[in-house]
Amino acid sequence: MQPATHSFGIQSEADRLRARAIWLYHVEGSTQNDIATQLGISRVMVVRLLADARRRNEVRITIAAPLTETLLIERDVETRFGINRVIVAPFSDAEADPVKVIAAAAGYFISCEMKAGMTVGVGWGRTLFNTLPFITGATLDDFRVVSLLGGIAAARRFNPAEFAWQFAELFQGEGFLIPAPAVVDSAETKHALLERCGLSAIFEMADKLDMALLSCGGISSLTTSYRTGYLSEADRRSLVEAGAIGDVLYNFIDANGDLVNHEVNSRVISVNLARLRRTPERVLISGGKDKLVALRATIKTIVPTTLITDEQTALALISE
């Protein structure tokens, strides 16, 4: 769920509390007792706020109540990083996993932005995969979805091909997938696949994208990239020694957003960063404490036109 209005009108304390209660209950899945504790009010007041929201028709597919606090944070991030549009999902727990709330905000954004005739490139990962239940599908003519990364055979839920396919299905569009692993055994194999097996034609479609939906990954051993087994722990340690702090579509970058000098980058089957930067609309969807350094670097390297993240991550971005 995502606030449906970005008005800077005056917001009463009751409106603010009601909006927070809506978000905590319907998106974060907090109990009424938990909400009462977090907001410093009684459980009876929480029940009244939620009932009032339903009566006002503020709880539908989206949340219609304005959240002035997040609007101010959004503007601060936009100014600090030179991003055209920042969408911050309310999130009160700095220690919890923000994936669901980011996915909810991104799902609403995607539902509004998809139009007939578009060609959309998609990345992959847990955050992007979790947007699917929050996207309102439609039948769009001449709509194309291009996967920007090879497949992951060992992890179907977060497989780039699986996400791209389901995304295309939501809009009754054509899906263009990369029939190759995300990481191959050598630069020579990569060259052969691109030149002899027709994969280069799919990557050339990346030059004609209207929008790219992307996430980023940290370098910790807990991220999706390493759970799949395509990169060993030895690879991970070697990348860290080379200065890698995370990746965008398996393009491993340093803190400045530059590709690290490492052989893994030469055998990745994905769209390169130079092509991504030529996409008119670059939407970066990511957040969480474990991705903060990678997120900063990714902002530098792809220069997103839109950033969708959570409140705690946004506050961390502007605090340094």
**Mind listing the pLDDT tens digit for each residue in 16-68?**
788 888 888 887 888 999 999 988 899 889 988 988 888 887 776 455 555 66
In a shared domain, residues 74 and 57? no
In a shared domain, residues 156 and 30? no
- C-alpha to C-alpha distance for 260 and 237, rounded to whole angstroms: 13
Q: Give the pLDDT confidence score for residue 202 in this predicted structure.
A: 83
Q: Give the pLDDT confidence score for residue 44 in this predicted structure.
A: 87
In a shared domain, residues 245 and 306? yes
pLDDT band at 8 (very low <50, low <70, confident <90, very high): very low
| Boundary-marking domain end, from 66, 94, 116 | 66
In a shared domain, residues 236 and 265? yes
Q: How many domains does the chain have?
A: 2
Burial classification of residue 38, based on how many CB atoms lie within 10 Å of its CB (0-12 exposed, 13-18 middle, 19 or more buried)? middle
Question: Domain with 5 in it: what CATH number?
Answer: 1.10.10.10
Q: Which helix (H) or strand (E) holds 283?
A: strand 281-285
| Boundary-marking domain end, from 14, 39, 66 | 66
320: Cβ contacts below 8 Å, ≥ 6 apart: none
In a shared domain, residues 97 and 194? yes
- C-alpha to C-alpha distance for 267 and 48, rounded to whole angstroms: 57
In a shared domain, residues 205 and 188? yes
Mean pLDDT of 184-213: 87
Domain of residue 3 covers 1-66
In a shared domain, residues 137 and 267? yes
Helix %, strand %, coil % for the chain, to 5? Answer: 45, 15, 40
Q: Give the pLDDT confidence score for residue 7 in this predicted structure.
A: 37
In a shared domain, residues 254 and 313? yes
The structure tokens listed for 125 are 């990962």
pLDDT in tens, 133-142: 899 999 999 9
In a shared domain, residues 26 and 84? no
> Is there a contact between 191 and 263 (Cβ–Cβ < 8 Å)?
no
pLDDT in tens, 110-136: 999 999 999 999 998 889 999 998 999
